[in-house]
Amino acid sequence: MGMTEDLTNWTHEQKCLKAVAALEKNGFTTLYCPTLQSAAEYIIAGATDAVTVGFGGSMSVVSLGVEQKLRESGKEILNHAPATFSRDEKIEIMRRQLTCDLFLSGCNALTLNGELVNIDATGNRAGAMLFGPRRVIVVVGRNKLVDGTVQDAITRVKNWATPPNAKRLNFKTPCASSGFCSNCNSPERLCRVTTVIDRKPRLTDIHVLVVNAELGF
C-alpha cells in the first residue's frame, strides 16, 4: 500500500470502529473486521452448531464466499436467489428462513449512531432480521456507513442501493433506467418496507460485522 491508500484505510477504520462502539452501546454483539477473510471466518465459526443457514439475498454476504463452504460442511442452505426456483419454491424458502438456525444478511445503511436501516420489496429479509432465526449475522461494508440521521441513511439507500439493485434484478422501475430515485409508484417498486433497528431486538441474537471493505451497494 502507498501512503495515500494507508491513510484512506485508516480513516475508514476509525469510522468502522465508531460504528462498532455505537452498536455495542445499543446492545448488539459487534465485531470490527479489517478484511473479508476475517468476516468469513467469523461466519463459518458462528455456524458450527447450525443445521439450517438462511441467506437473505445480500451481495455483501456473497462477496465473502461462505455459501459453498457451509454447504460442504453439511449445512442445509436456504437461499431463494437461484433463478431455477419457481415463485412458489422461492416463497417456501423465504418462509423457512424465518425459523432457520442462522440467518445471514447485509444492511443497506448503518449510521454512526448504531442504527441499522434497510429497505425491502417483500420484507422477508427484514422479518428474519427482527425475529425467528436462532442467530442473525449482519455484514456491513464501510461504504454503508452514514455519518448522519436515520433519514440520511434512508436517502443513502434510495440513491445508492436501490437503483443498482433494481437494475441487477431486472426490475422495470424508473431508477433501474435513470439511476436516480423518483419515489415512483411502479408495480415493481422495490422500496416498500423500511425498517430501523436502533436497539437489539429483545429475543434475537444479532451479530453485526463491520468490515473495512467496499461491499454490495
Q: What is the mean pLDDT of residues 91-107?
A: 98
User: pLDDT tier at 96 (50, 70, 90 boundaries)?
Assistant: very high
b/e map 60-96, b = 16+ CB within 10 Å: bbbbbebbeebeeeebeebbbeeeeeeeeebeebbee
Q: Span 8-25, mean pLDDT?
A: 97
pLDDT of residue 1: 64
2, pLDDT greater than 90 = no
CA distance 128 to 104: 9
The CATH-assigned architecture of domain 3-211 is 3-Layer(aba) Sandwich (3.40)
Render pLDDT for 41-94 as a digit per residue (tens, 0 to 9): 999 999 999 999 999 999 999 999 999 999 999 999 999 999 999 999 999 999
pTM of this prediction?
Answer: 0.96
Asked if 173 and 186 count as a contact pair (C-beta separation under 8 A), the reply is yes
**Position 203 pLDDT exceeds 90:** yes
- Set of cell numbers at residue 196: 430501523
CA–CA dist 88, 178 (Å, integer): 31
